[in-house]
Homo-oligomer: A and B are copies of this chain.
C-alpha cells in the first residue's frame, strides 16, 4: 500500500520505518522540502521510503498518518491540503500537549479535542484517533511489553474504525483494539495523556501501556 506520514519526529519515523519493513511504500512529509530528519529517514530506509512536503505525502498516500505535534497539527493538515486528504482515512496519533507551562497541560480538552477539531476542519476526511496513548516503540510493537495491552480507536465512520483496527492488528500486532465510538471519544484518550505523563515520571520502565482488566 502507498502510505503518507505527516511529521518527521519520533512517532513518524517509528511508524514509517515499521511500514517500510513490512513491505509498504511510505512517503514522509514535512513543512519544508529540505527537512534533514525527513531526508535522512528516506535515505536510510531505502527504495520504498520517500520524502516530500506535507502536500506531497498527503497526495501520495492511500491512507495517511498524522504524526505531527498536536500544537502544529491543524496547520500541517492545512498545508497538506483538503483536496489531498479528501475521502481518505487519516490516522491521527497526535496529542494537544502544551509543554510550555510548568505543569504540562492540553491546548484543548474537556468540551472539545484535537481529534474533533481535525474532523471539523476536514469534514470529507475520515479521521480515526488512535495510537496516541503510548510510546512510539510500543505503537508498532506491543509485544515489547511483558503482557498484551489495549489500544483504542475513535472516529465518526464505523467502517474506517474497523479498517484501522484491522491495520493495527495486521501491521503492528495489536491483539485487542477497543472501539470507543465517535470522534468525541478522542477527548478521553487525549485527556488520559496527563495521567500518562505522571506515570512516565514515576515508573522506572521506559516503555509502558495500560491494560483493561474486567471482572
Are B194 and A180 in touch, CB under 8 angstroms?
no
Interface size range of chain A in the complex: 35 or more
Point out the residue from B192, B210, B213 that lies within 8 Å of A146, measured CB to CB. Answer: B213
Cβ of A40 within 8 Å of any chain B Cβ, yes or no, is no
Beyond A103-B184, A199-B178, A199-B212, is A191–B109 a contact (Cβ under 8 Å)?
yes
Are A208 and B215 in touch, CB under 8 angstroms?
yes
Point out the residue from B111, B199, B207 that lies within 8 Å of A105, measured CB to CB. Answer: B111
Which B residues are in CB contact (< 8 Å) with A178? 199, 202-203
Are B210 and A211 in touch, CB under 8 angstroms?
yes
Beyond A180-B198, A180-B199, A195-B191, is A215–B210 a contact (Cβ under 8 Å)?
no
Residue interface mask A178-202, B partner, CB < 8 A = 1: 1111001101110110111111011
Cβ of A100 within 8 Å of any chain B Cβ, yes or no, is no
Cβ of A147 within 8 Å of any chain B Cβ, yes or no, is yes
> What is the bound-complex CA distance between A215 and B209, given in angstroms?
9
Within 8 A of B (CB), among A75-112: 101, 103, 105-106, 109-111
Cβ of A149 within 8 Å of any chain B Cβ, yes or no, is yes
Contacts A145-B215, A188-B194, A207-B214 supplied; 8 other A-B pairs, CB < 8 Å: A101-B111, A105-B111, A181-B202, A187-B194, A188-B195, A207-B215, A210-B213, A211-B213
